[in-house]
A and B are shown apart, each in its own frame.
Chain A
Amino acid sequence: MKRIIFLIFYFTFFTNANAVVTIDITRGNLEPLPAAISNFYIDNPEKFSESIKKLNLDKNLPKVITENLKRSGLFYVLDPKSYIQDPKLSHLKPRFEDWALIKAQIMVSGKLKIDEKNRLRVEFRLWDVVSAKEMEGLALFATPSSWRRIAHIISDKIYQRLTGEEGYFDTRIIYVAESGPKDQRVKKLAIMDQDGDNNKYLTLGNELVLTPRFSPNSKMVTYMSYFKNLPRVYLLNIETGIQEVVGDFPGMTFAPRFSPDGKKIIMSFSRDGNSDIYTMDLNTRVVDQLTNHPAIDTSPSYSPDGKYIAFNSDRNGQQQIYVMRSNGKGVTRISKGNGLYGTPVWSPRGDLIAFTKIYKEKFYIGVMRTDGTGERLLTENFYQEAPSWSPNGRVLIYYRETAAGAGGRGASAKLWSIDITGYNEIKLKTQTDASDPNWSSLLSK
C-alpha cells in the first residue's frame, strides 16, 4: 500500500499554549461547540493542473474537516451560507465581529498552494472568535491525491487544541465486509478510513475470515481464516500483502490480538473441544499456555502496559469477564452484574474495559473499571457486540445485526460508534454489510 511522507511544522506565532480545554466527563453539558469552517482559498491557481482543480480542494478539504468534527458530536458546524467574510480575508485577517454575529466560537480558515516541487501545501489556522486571536496554525505538504489525509490530520489538530485530547481522525478501520444470504455469507477483510472513505478489500472472499485486529503500529493485522477449511490465526502485512499462519496448532486457533509491544499474538487454542489462552512470540515462535481449565477461555485482551489480560470464560458455568496477570496467574472474575458478559477490550487509556453484555435477550455495549466496578451500559439492541476503542479511548466502534425474518430477509450487519459517555451513537458508512471492526492507532503519530 502506498505511503506518503509528510513534513509538518508549526507556526508558533499567536499560539496560546495554556488555553487548552479539557473534556471533563464528570460534568454535564451536551451543547456542542458552534464552529465555522471557512472554505480554503487558493493562493496560486495558475499552478493548479486540471486534474487537481477537479478535486475542488478549496471546498472539499474543509468539508472533510467539517464532517469529522460533526461526527465527533463535540462540534456544531454552522451553515457555510451564513459566512460573511471571504475565505482569503478570513485566513489573513478575520473580522471577528462577522463570525461572532453568526454565533461561531471558533473559526477555521485555510490556504492551498502548489509549491515548486509540485506538492500540495495546505496551511490552516484555528481562530478563537470570542477572544479574537489565533489558537493554532499549521502547514502540511503532501501529494495532492493524499488530500484527505491532510484533512484528517488538520481535524486531529483542531480536536486536540480544543479538547486537550489526542484526535482520532487520521485513523483507519479494519473490518469484515459481508455479503450474500445469511446461511452462505461471504466475508472479506476490508479496510477504510475512519470516515468510510478509501475502502479496500484485502481478501477475495474465497474463505471465511473473522475478527481482524491491528498491530500497535497498525501495519500488521492478525485475524482468523478458514483457509483450506482449517480455522487458524493468521498474520497479514497490510503494506506488502504477505500473509502467514501463526496459529498452526493441532486444532482451531481463534480470537487473536497483539500484545501492546507488538511482539506477541495472544489467542485461544481449542484442543479436543477445550479452549485455553496461549501466546506466541512472533520472533522466536515460542508458545506459552496461559490458562489451563476445562471451561471455555477466549477473547483475551492485554492492558496497555502489558501487565494484565482480560478474557472471557464460562468457568463458573456462564460467560463472564476475568482478569489475570500476563503470566496467567491471579485469575479474578470482574463482571458481577446479572447476565452474560463477553468480548472484554482494555481501553488504550488503561482505565476501562469495554464489553458486550447479554441480558434478558438484549445485547448491550458497556464499560466498567478494570476491577469490574462502575459498570455503565451505553447502548441496548437486538444484537451487537465486539467493541473496539478509538486510539484516544474516547469512542467505541462495534457491529450491530438486525433480526431476520423468513429466508433471512431483513438481516443486516452495520458498524456503529458511540462516545463513552453514551452520547452520539452513529452508524458508519460502509459499502457493504460489515462486522468485527477494529480501530487503528493514530497513523500520523
Chain B
Amino acid sequence: MILKNIKNLALVLVLGFLVSACATSQKIGNKEDYYTGTDTVKFLAAGVPDRVFFATNRSTLHSGAKATLDKQAAYLISSKLKVVIEGHADERGTREYNLALGSRRANAVRDYLLSKGVPKAQLKTISYGKERPVNPKSDRLAWSQNRRAVTVKAN
C-alpha cells in the first residue's frame, strides 16, 4: 500500500509524446537533389574529375555523373592506374544503412567503369558510410557534397 506512487508511474505523459500518424505523405529523397557544382572536386589528371554526386538515398548515376565517369574510364584505361572507389553518404541517415548505401554507390561507379572497359583488376571499392564527410556543415549544400563516390589512387 505504500509505494502506490511508483506503481502508477507511467503512461500518462506518453500520450503527449505520441506523434499521431498524420495523413500527409512525406517526400523521401528528392531525385534531383544531387550536387552539380565544382567545389570539393579534385582531379585524377588534367580534365578528369575524381568524384560524382548522388541524390538523397539514391545510387543512380545521372548524366553529369556519367560524363565524369567516361573521362575517368578513358584515363584509367590509358594510365593503367589502380584506384579505390570510395562510396559516401550524408549524415541524414542511420549509420548502418549509410554503410550499405555507400557500398551501393561505390559499386554503381565500379559497374559503370567496368562497362566502359576498365579492367576489373584496376578497381576496388570501399564504403565509408557517413563517416568521412568532405563538408562538415549540417545543411543541404554540405549534404549534397557528401553524397558522393570518389575515385582515388590505390596505395
Contacts and interface: CB of A to CB of B under 8 A. Distances in A.
Contacts of B134: 183
A408 to B, nearest CB: 3
Given A105-B3, A130-B2, A338-B21, A24 B10 contact: yes
B10 A183 contact: no
B9 interface: yes
A374 B101 CA distance: 29
B17 A24 contact: no
A130 B4 CA distance: 12
Given A318-B57, A358-B93, A385-B94, A421 B100 contact: no
A343 B133 CA distance: 22
Contacts of B108: 273
Interface residues of B, number: 57
B26 interface: yes
B64 interface: no
B18 A339 contact: no
A27 interface: yes
B125 to A, nearest CB: 7
Contact of A105 (B2, B14, B29): B2
A43 interface: no
A33 B5 CA distance: 6
Given A273-B107, A296-B101, A296-B104, A211 B138 contact: no
A22 B7 contact: yes
A298 B98 CA distance: 10
B121 interface: no
Contacts of A105: 2-3, 5
Nearest to B142: A404
A210 B131 contact: yes
Given A26-B10, A231-B127, 15 more contacts: A22-B7, A25-B10, A30-B13, A73-B9, A74-B6, A128-B3, A131-B1, A210-B95, A298-B99, A319-B94, A339-B28, A375-B21, A411-B138, A423-B10, A436-B95
Q: Which 10 A-B pairs have the closest CB atoms?
A: A273-B107, A28-B12, A408-B136, A29-B8, A182-B136, A403-B138, A342-B94, A422-B17, A130-B2, A275-B100
Interface of B: 1-14, 16-19, 21-22, 24-26, 28-29, 57, 59, 91-97, 99-101, 103-108, 110-111, 125-128, 131-138
Interface of A: 21-33, 73-75, 105-106, 128-131, 162-163, 181-183, 185, 208, 210-211, 224, 229, 231, 251-252, 254-255, 268, 270, 272-275, 296, 298-299, 312, 314, 318-319, 337-340, 342-343, 356, 358-361, 364, 375-380, 382-383, 385-386, 401, 403-408, 411, 421-423, 435-436
